Amino acid sequence: MIGFEFSQFISDESKSKFEQLLDIFMQLLPNTNGDVQETLEWMNQLDKYFNLTNDNYGMGDFIQDLKDKGYLKENELSGEMSLTAKSKQSIRQRSLEEVFNKLKKSKQGEHSTKKTGSGDEINSDIRNYQFGDKLEQIDFTESIRSAQIRHGAESLSLHEDDLQIRETSFKAQTSTVLMIDISHSMILYGEDRITPAKKVAMALSELITTKYPKDTLDIVVFGNDAWTVDINDLPYLQVGPYHTNTVAGLELAMDILRRRKNANKKIFMITDGKPTCLKINGRYYKNAFGLDGKITNRCISLAAQCKKLKIDITTFMIASDPYLQAFVTEFTEMNNGKAYFATLDNLGSFIFKDFESGKRKTVY
C-alpha cells in the first residue's frame, strides 16, 4: 500500500503552536484508525523532517497539553492513551468543515419544505385568524396593532377579526442510514478509500446532530456481514479481509428504517466494488469473479422492496468499470433513486449536496 508523502509544511502563524499541531493531529487520526500512539509517532517523524516544534514548545509539551485540555486520557496502569469524547467531536467538526470547504459557494437550502402550517420555524408571513388555528400561532403584537387601527387607541378592544397569525414553516424530518463498504477492495491497488468514507460519515453525523437534531442517522458497515457502528466509533473504523455483502447491508438498513417514525427515509451507500457475497442458511456464497446473477438479482429485488417502502437509495460508486456502472444503473432504476460515480475528492460534496437538496423537497 502506498503511504502518505509530505513535501512541505506551512504553518498558520495566526494560531498558537498548540493549535497548529492540533490541526495536524486531527488530520492524521482518521488515517491511523484513531490509534493515538501511531498518530503521535507519525507526528514525531514529521517533526524531525519539518521542525514542527522548537526549543520553547516541544512535542512533549504538546502531548501534555492534549491531556490537560481534555483531548486525551491516559490509563494509569498501562500508560496507554486514548481519545476522549471531546476529541471525537472535534474530529467530526473538522471533517464537516473540510467537506464544506470543498463545496462551491452557493446558497444552501434550509431544512424545510415548501409547505406552511403547523411547524417549528417562524417565518415572516402573517395572515388573519382562521378557525382551527392554534393559540401559540397568534402574533399578539400584530393583533394589538390591528385592533388599534380598527378601533382606535382610546377604545381599544380585541376581537376575532383583529387576530393575526404568524405562519410557521414545516421542517421535514429525515431518517438516514449511511452504508459504508469495508471490504478489502477499499484499500486495494494502493488507494485508501476508507478514510474519505469515514470523514464523510463523521461530517454527515456532525451536520445532522448539530443542524438537524430531530433527524436520525445510523451508520451501517458491510463486508461479509453487516452491522451498525456508533458515531463515536467512526475514527476507529477499519477495512477487513471481507467480501462485499451488499444484500446484508441493505437488509439491515431497511430493518432500521422500518422502525423509524419519520416519513422521509433514505439510504446513502458508499461502495467501490461489486456485490460478491451472500449468506444463505448460515453459509457464505461468494463469487468475486464478475457479477454473479444470484447475488445481483437479490440486490435489485431489495431495491424494489425499498421503493415500495418509500425508502430512497442513493449509491455513491467509487469505481469506473462500465459493467459495474451498468449494474448500478439497473439497481438505481429499480428503486427510482440516484447514483453518483464519484471520485474520492468529490465524494463529500456529492453526498452533502444530495442530502441538502432532499430537504427542499415538498413532502406530503
The CATH number of whichever domain residue 288 belongs to comes to: 3.40.50.410
Looking from the CA of 255 toward its CB, the CA atoms found within 13 Å total 11
Name the more confident of 171 and 332.
332
The answer to whether residues 322 and 183 belong to one domain is yes
Alpha carbon 94 to its chain centroid, in Å, reads 13
Does the pLDDT value for residue 265 go beyond 90?
yes
The answer to whether residues 298 and 345 belong to one domain is yes
Q: How far is CA 273 from CA 174, 257, 288, 305, 321, in A?
A: 28, 24, 10, 22, 9
The answer to whether residues 206 and 353 belong to one domain is yes
Task: State the cell numbers at 100.
Answer: 464544506
Whether 12 is in a domain gets the answer no
Whether 1 is in a domain gets the answer no
Q: How far apart are CA 36 and CA 28, in angstroms?
A: 10
Among all chains, which residue has been given the C-alpha cell 487520526? 29
The most confident of the ranges 149-158, 162-171, 256-265 is: 256-265
Q: pLDDT > 70: what percent of the chain?
A: 84
SS3 of 328, please?
A: helix
Question: Do 241 and 134 contact (CB within 8 A), yes or no?
Answer: no
259 in the Ramachandran plot: left (φ > 0), alpha (ψ -120 to 50) or beta?
alpha
Alpha carbon 134 to its chain centroid, in Å, reads 36
Q: How far apart are CA 120 and CA 168, in angstroms?
A: 6
Please report the DSSP string for 104-134 in residue order: PS-----S--S-EES-SEEEEEEEE--TT--
- For residue 328, what are the domain limits? 174-358
The answer to whether residues 193 and 240 belong to one domain is yes
- What total of structural domains would you count in the chain? 3
Q: What is the mean pLDDT of residues 325-346?
A: 86
At 152, the pLDDT band (50, 70, 90 cuts) reads confident
At 88, the pLDDT band (50, 70, 90 cuts) reads very high
Name the more confident of 175 and 189.
175
Question: Do 237 and 219 contact (CB within 8 A), yes or no?
Answer: no
The answer to whether residues 290 and 236 belong to one domain is yes
Task: State the cell numbers at 304.
Answer: 424494489
